[in-house]
Amino acid sequence: MALKISKDGDTVTIMFPEIFGFSLRREFKEATSSHRPGIRYQLDLRTVTKIDSSALGMLLLFREGAGGESADISFIGVRPEVRRLLQLANFQNLFKFS
C-alpha cells in the first residue's frame, strides 16, 4: 500500500508517497470512501514532490464526499513546490493549510 493511514481519536491522518497522481486513484478512493460525521482529516504531504491534476480532482471529490463545505480537511507538511500548485488551483479557499 502506497498510502499510510493512521487514526488518533477522531483524527485520521493519510500520508502520501513521493508521487501523488492517477496511480493512487483506486487506493485513495478506497481509503476515503467511508466517512463519519466529526472526523478530522490530515493529509500529510511531507514526502510528496510531484502531484498531478488527477490528484487535485481526487482531493476535491474526497472533500465533497466528506461533507463539502463542512468537511474538516487539512494539508500538513506541504513542500513549497506542491504548495504553489495547490495555490494555483485556488485550494486555499477549500482546504486548510497547517
* Binding stretches for another protein (CB under 8 A): 19, 21-22, 25-26, 29, 50-54, 56-57, 60-61, 63-65, 68-69, 85, 88-90, 93-94
28: how many CB neighbours lie within 10 A of its CB? 22
Give whichever of 35 and 40 is closer to another protein, judged by the CB atom. 35
Residue 92: C-alpha distances to residues 27, 59, 75, 87, 88 (Å): 25, 13, 10, 6, 9
Grid coordinates standing for 76? 500538513
Q: How far is the CB of 7 from another protein (least distance, A)?
A: 23
Give whichever of 15 and 86 is closer to another protein, judged by the CB atom. 86
Give whichever of 26 and 36 is closer to another protein, judged by the CB atom. 26
Q: How far is the CB of 48 from another protein (least distance, A)?
A: 11
The Cα 65–Cα 69 span in angstroms is 10
